């Protein structure tokens, strides 16, 4: 597996894709291709590398770096994904805490509507959490 660094920047309405390892390859001074949409960058880069370097797409690994002006888009994308995963983990923990609390409060004789107010859900949801009839 060969890793290619892929540098991407915005030029008008296009994402310009540059692969520095291919510069000078087959007589090209600078190798560029483009993509119309952000989601197409990886496919376009992989196809372009396999064409210019004459290698199978399955043997290509990409190290993509995207910038727009002074914005490091790749870093922002990674940071956002990490924060979303952390938020999802926190949400799962909160739901677990809510279920455990709801069960304990029901066992202590607290009404479902009051439990709902305490844990911030509807009494119907409390019924689902504790497995009780309404």
Cα distance between the two ends of the chain: 59
Q: What does the alpha-carbon distance between residue 50 and residue 46 come to, in Å, rounded to a whole number?
A: 6
Q: Domain limits at 118?
A: 81-130
> Are 39 and 13 in the same domain?
yes
104-130 tens-digit pLDDT: 999 999 999 999 999 999 999 999 999
> Are 86 and 62 in the same domain?
no
3-state secondary structure the chain: CEEEEEEEEEECCEEEEECHHHCCHHHCCCCEEEECCHHHHHHHHHHHHHHHHCCCHHHEEEEEEEEECCEEHHHHHHHHHHHHHHHHHHHHHHHHHHHHHHHHHHHCCCCHHHHHHHHCCCHHHHHHHHCCCC
pTM of the model: 0.72
Flag whether pLDDT at 133 surpasses 80.
Answer: no
Per the structure, how many domains does the chain have?
2
> Are 63 and 86 in the same domain?
no
61-98 tens-digit pLDDT: 999 999 999 999 999 999 999 999 999 999 999 999 99
């Amino acid at each position: 597996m060969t890793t290619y660094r892929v540098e991407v920047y915005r030029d008008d309405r296009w994402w310009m894709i540059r692969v520095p390892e291919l510069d000078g390859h087959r007589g090209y001074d600078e190798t560029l291709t483009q993509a119309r949409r952000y989601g197409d960058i990886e496919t376009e880069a992989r196809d372009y590398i396999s064409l210019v370097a004459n290698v199978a797409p399955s043997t290509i690994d990409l190290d993509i770096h995207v910038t727009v002006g002074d914005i490091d888009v790749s870093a922002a994308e990674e940071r956002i994904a990490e924060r979303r995963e952390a938020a999802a983990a926190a949400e799962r923990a909160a739901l677990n805490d809510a279920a455990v609390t709801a069960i304990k409060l029901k066992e202590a004789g607290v009404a479902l509507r009051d439990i709902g107010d305490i844990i911030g859900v509807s009494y119907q949801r409390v019924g689902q959490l504790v497995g009780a009839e309404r």
